[in-house]
Amino acid sequence: MTHQVRAVVARGKGAPVSLETIVVPDPGPGEALVKVEACGVCHTDLHYREGGVNDDFPFLLGHEAAGVVEAVGEGVTDVAPGDFVILNWRAVCGQCRACQRGRPWYCFDTHNAKQRMTLTDGTDLSPALGIGAFAEKTLVAAGQCTKVDRAASAAAAGLLGCGVMAGIGAAINTGRVGRGDTVAVIGCGGVGDAAVVGSNLAGAARIIAVDIDDRKLETARKLGATHTVNSKESDPVEAIRDLTGGFGADVVIEAVGRPETYRQAFYARDLAGTVVLVGVPTPEMKLELPLLDVFGRGGALKSSWYGDCLPSRDFPMLIDLYLQGRLNLDAFVTETIALDEVEKAFERMHHGDVLRSVVVL
């Protein structure tokens, strides 16, 4: 059997997205059919629409989602119909060299559904990040579904599926922020703000938020930043040093993805400190640093892929903290919108007044 549902499709490079009827197959072995309840609008969706990821149009957009499992295919035991789940793009394989070494958060062979979702004329769709959740129903690998407490709001929970997890994980998993640490976060959009929240959860003593936009700094402060620096107005490296006894922060999280902000992160950390790059650069960007400084300053220069998260470990834990009132995921939901308003949400993204627009179905 197949299901005909409404979904947001990007048909060609730079063209506005359209609401289409798509065909979703019943789950085969190892797959799950999910009734989507909410899906956040992420920069990566826009990036797909602009042809910045690859040319495999048409794309089925949407990937920060939560919903309810409607059906599962043969051999699926981890989730069952009726489960409230967050979708992830790290369904670990258990077999690759990372998994075999006990580091599944680096899994190099993550799973997606094997069957294709299509347009009604049979054209294969390419789901964004192997998910495709701006749709009433989507088909994923069962491992892409992580069961969490049903009491959580779908709009908030879905955000853990991508950007918010990336930021929290950059602080907690990659940066290993601990009690009493000083942390600086450069770039306070959805990802950077989540890094602020993650640092706060981990017990950081001082959290310095850096951005070029005062509105972003205000939000960061509400989410737990203890200090803010507008790096258009003052040199962020000096400002961070001034706020840390002249030494620099223990952990600096770069959530922009540009050479100049990476350089700031590199020099704004204390000796033997850690830089975490969670912002995603573009292919033409180059970084130049004196090698002697790389050596002489010691410490660790790390990248954070998806916050080095392990969905089965991190999603239920973070949802529990959310339900206890210790993790304000609702603060990341700036507005809830309908399925046909994704294009408008892309436009709002440029104005910088939205952390996340979330499609609620």
> Minimal distance in Å, beta carbon 10 to ligand APR?
17
296 and 268 Cβ atoms separated by less than 8 Å: no
Q: What is the dihedral of CA 283, 289, 293, 294, to 10 degrees?
A: 20
Tokens of 337: 């919108």
Stretch that binds ligand APR, among 95-103, 149-157, 212-220, 324-332 (CB under 6 A): 212-220
> Minimal distance in Å, beta carbon 324 to Zn ion?
25
Q: Which is nearer to ligand APR, 161 or 190 (CB)?
A: 190
Q: What are the angstrom distances between the C-alpha of 239 and each of 190, 224, 230, 356?
A: 23, 18, 9, 29
Residue sitting closest to ligand APR (CB): 189
Residue 190 interacts with ligand APR (CB under 6 A): yes or no: yes
Stretch that binds ligand APR, among 29-37, 137-145, 189-197, 293-301 (CB under 6 A): 189-197
Which partner in ligand APR, Zn ion, none is near 347 (CB below 5 to 8 A by kind)?
Answer: none
Residue 128 interacts with Zn ion (CB under 5 A): yes or no: no
Query: Which of 147, 127, 189 lies closest to 312, judged by CA?
Result: 147
CB within 8 Å of 121: residues ≥ 6 apart: none
The binder of Zn ion chosen from 22, 34, 36, 42 (CB under 5 A): 42
280 and 257 Cβ atoms separated by less than 8 Å: yes
Which partner in Zn ion, ligand APR, none is near 250 (CB below 5 to 8 A by kind)?
Answer: none
Q: Determine how β-strand 335-337 pairs with β-strand 357-360.
A: parallel
State the DSSP string of 164-217: HHHHHHIIIIIS---TT-EEEEE--SHHHHHHHHHHHHTT-SEEEEEES-HHHH
> Minimal distance in Å, beta carbon 53 to ligand APR?
11
The binder of ligand APR chosen from 256, 309, 318, 342 (CB under 6 A): 256
Stretch that binds ligand APR, among 77-85, 133-141, 180-188, 298-306 (CB under 6 A): 180-188
147 and 83 Cβ atoms separated by less than 8 Å: yes
For tokens 């990476």, the residue is 262
CB within 8 Å of 143: residues ≥ 6 apart: 30, 78, 91, 92, 110, 111
State the binding string over 269-298 for ligand APR (x if CB under 6 A, else -): ---------xxx------------------
Residue 7 interacts with Zn ion (CB under 5 A): yes or no: no
Residue 207 interacts with ligand APR (CB under 6 A): yes or no: no
Residue 257 interacts with ligand APR (CB under 6 A): yes or no: yes
The binder of ligand APR chosen from 132, 169, 189, 311 (CB under 6 A): 189
Q: Can you give the C-alpha Rg of the chain in angstroms? A: 20
Residue 127 interacts with ligand APR (CB under 6 A): yes or no: no
Alpha-carbon distance of 270 to 251, in angstroms, equals 8
Tokens of 220: 């960061």
Element of type H or E holding 238: helix 236-242
> Minimal distance in Å, beta carbon 128 to Zn ion?
8
The binder of Zn ion chosen from 19, 96, 321, 331 (CB under 5 A): 96
Residue 213 interacts with ligand APR (CB under 6 A): yes or no: yes
> Minimal distance in Å, beta carbon 219 to ligand APR?
9
Q: Determine how β-strand 2-10 pairs with β-strand 300-303.
A: unpaired
- Please list every residue from 43 through 72 that binds ligand APR, using CB under 6 A: 43
Q: Which is nearer to Zn ion, 189 or 248 (CB)?
A: 189
Q: Determine how β-strand 300-303 pairs with β-strand 269-277.
A: parallel
Alpha-carbon distance of 264 to 266, in angstroms, equals 5
Stretch that binds Zn ion, among 90-98, 176-184, 193-201, 285-293 (CB under 5 A): 90-98
Residue 188 interacts with ligand APR (CB under 6 A): yes or no: yes
Alpha-carbon distance of 213 to 209, in angstroms, equals 11
> Minimal distance in Å, beta carbon 314 to ligand APR?
17
For ligand APR, the binding residues (CB under 6 A) are 43, 163, 166, 186-192, 210-213, 216, 231, 255-257, 261, 278-280, 352
